[in-house]
Amino acid sequence: MNGYKVMPAEAGDLESIMDIFAQARKFMGELGNPQWQDGFPQKQFIADKIALGIMYKVMCEGDIAAVFSVLDSDEDYGDIDGAWLTEEGEYFVLHTVAAAADYRGKGCARFIFSYAEVMAKERGKISVRMDTHEKNIPMRSLVASLGYKYCGSLTVRGGKQRIGFEKILKG
């Protein structure tokens, strides 16, 4: 699907964004993935990301089709049972990717990863990292198809176990 446009999320988008996360949570639960089933990400967490200017919305035909956030680094990524492909300071992080139910399976997530890779290059980074739950099969399939390499397991926010992936960006 064409016509996706990325814009920084605004405070007025918070309720719509939280609805997208609720839809994603339901979808993951139906697939047996326990990720986000504890209510993460919470409203204040997302409001803080919006205020920091690191939460983005993907627009399509006037709708918020998907959301994601980015970081220049992540302290949770310092200790991995495995090995990252790059060193501290060389990577960009893609987090909290979620598509609205009506846009699931329509290329939103692929678009987000592609956009994040461009953002990373613009910031002088040589790779993109992300993490997900080991039972998040759709995300694992997507990142594998996009050339991301499994790097190991790590502990994130509040002791949750995740698996990390990284992709070295080309020129």
Burial category of 60 from C-beta neighbours within 10 Å (exposed 0-12, middle 13-18, buried 19 and up)? buried
How far, in Å, CA of 99 to CA of 103, rounded? 6
Confidence label for 158 from pLDDT (cuts 50, 70 and 90): confident
Q: pTM (2 decimals)?
A: 0.94
- Predicted confidence at residue 39, as pLDDT, reads 87
> What's the pLDDT tens digit per position in 86-133?
999 999 999 999 999 999 999 999 999 999 999 999 999 999 999 999
User: Residue 58 corresponds to which tokens in the numbers above?
Assistant: 């993907």
